[in-house]
Amino acid sequence: MRKLFVLLASLTLVLSATAFAQSTLDQIKSRGSLICGVNGTGLPGFAYVDSDGNYQGFDVDYCRAVAAAVLGDATKVTYRGLSSGERFTALQTGEVDILIRNTTWTSSRDTGLGLNFTAPTFYDGQGFMVRAASGIETLADLDGTTICVQSGTTTELNLADVMNANGLDYDAKIAETSDPLLAAYDDGACDAYTTDKSGLAAQRTQLRDPSEHVIMDVTISKEPLGPSVRHGDDQFYDVANWVVFTTFMAEEMGITSANVDEMLVGSADSNVRRLLGVEPEKVEEFGLSADAFYNVIKQVGNYAEIYNRNLGPETVVNIPRGYNASYLNGGLHYAPPLR
């Protein structure tokens, strides 16, 4: 009996060690779904649950794109809604495979927190929202005001730096999640509300009367937002990074979800043929099937499609592309060669 117990215990150990040793990419494949950490409060345009109970948004589309590449099916995603404070622990402990949650790439998140960020999917910067009637226009006008700011974010740190550097006084009204802060701002408890400008555009739509509020023409930081994975997850990191590059490349090459099938059979351009897996080697080198990046474009689209669907002029958030244009149009998105 005792021997049987020891045998069972060692078997369990070996099995769990094997499970642990399995790379994230293999775990996703054997599980048949990607566990993606997204914004849990709901951020219009980026990650929110629609009236049918489905997750939607720009960040959500990148979860779907990674699932399309790894599993051949953009719907094979299990979403975990996370607050700012929860997000890094969720990734570190393996509760999620990847974090795609309006998260800024910073050095200490690379080093101390042990994350690896892919190329940014959205170049942002921190700004302020105020009541149009307040007359507040410049940073100096914020002297002596009360500012609503969320803890556990780069937002809180940048605000302190910039106000101190400019000798400006302020009272910070702080909360761990954004809902109560936004409500406090809407009720007049703060003169200004600060976060990433994309977050301002998204959250302004949730105020009682959005037209009474303006986003100031002031940007106090760089906030490159994008997906991140754990240190040591090199193969999955490469996959996630090149899924992002696939969306850039497809836009650069004029490949869309609508014409990708024509391109698949009709293109003589070897860059297109490699990306779509007609010449399979380069895609297969990632440990993916040859049609992995084709699936990203077919099922989710190129960067412009993803951007316009979620953040473009036809949407409630409507953020001009600015730095988020392709380098071909003067923006910062640029993919290295797939070869």
User: Which CB sits closer to ligand GSH, 42 or 301?
Assistant: 42
Nearest to 77 by CA among 51, 59, 52: 59
Find the binder of ligand GSH among 23, 33, 41, 235 (CB under 6 A). Answer: 41
Q: Which is nearer to ligand GSH, 24 or 39 (CB)?
A: 39
Distance CA 225, CA 178 (A): 18
Minimum CB distance to ligand GSH, residue 5 (Å) = 46
Q: Show the binding pattern over residues 154-193: x = contacts ligand GSH (CB under 6 A), - = does not.
A: xx---------------------xx---------------
CB nearer to ligand GSH: pick between 87 and 274: 87
Q: Nearest residue to ligand GSH, using CB?
A: 199
Q: How far is the CB of 198 from ligand GSH (least distance, A)?
A: 8
Alpha-carbon distance of 178 to 23, in angstroms, equals: 34
Q: Smallest gap, in angstroms, from Cβ of residue 85 to ligand GSH?
A: 7
What is the nearest approach in angstroms of ligand GSH to the Cβ of residue 243?
A: 20
Burial 36-58 (b: 16+ CB within 10 A, else e): bbbbbbbbbbbbbbeeeeebbbb
Give the number of residues in contact with ligand GSH, rule: CB under 6 A.
19
Tell whether residue 24 is a contact of ligand GSH (CB under 6 A). no
Range 84-143, binding ligand GSH (CB under 6 A): 84, 102-104
Q: Could you tell me the two tokens for 298?
A: 């077919």
- Check: CB of residue 339 under 8 Å from CB of residue 254: no
The residue behind tokens 């993919």 is 335
Which residue is listed with tokens 């007359």? 135
Rank residues 225 and 239 by Cβ distance to ligand GSH and give the closer one. 225
Identify which of residues 191 and 196 has a Cβ nearer to ligand GSH in the complex.
Answer: 196
Q: Under rule CB under 6 A, which residues in 200-239 are in contact with ligand GSH?
A: 223, 225
DSSP 11: H
Handedness of CA 302, 304, 307, 310 (dihedral sign): negative
The DSSP 8-state label assigned to residue 326 in this structure reads B
Considering only 150, 295, 302, 310, the residue that binds ligand GSH (CB under 6 A) is 150
State the nearest-atom distance from the C-beta of 106 to ligand GSH, in Å. Answer: 8
The least CB distance from residue 87 to ligand GSH, in Å, is 8
**Tokens, residue 97:** 């495979």
Residue type, 244: V
Name which position in 28, 35, 43, 243 contacts ligand GSH (CB under 6 A).
Answer: 43
Our CB check for ligand GSH shows the closer of 163 and 276 to be: 163
DSSP states along 122-140: EEE-EEEEEEGGG---SSG
Instruction: Pick the binder of ligand GSH from 24, 39, 247, 302 (CB under 6 A).
Output: 39
- CB closer to ligand GSH, 267 vs 315: 315
Are residues 177 and 153 in contact, defined by beta-carbon separation less than 8 angstroms?
no
Sequential DSSP letters for 33-94: SEEEEEESS-BTTTBEE-TTS-EESHHHHHHHHHHHHHHS-TT-EEEEEE-TTTHHHHHHTT
Residues lying near ligand GSH in the complex (CB under 6 A): 39, 41, 43, 83-84, 102-104, 150, 153-155, 177-178, 195-196, 199, 223, 225
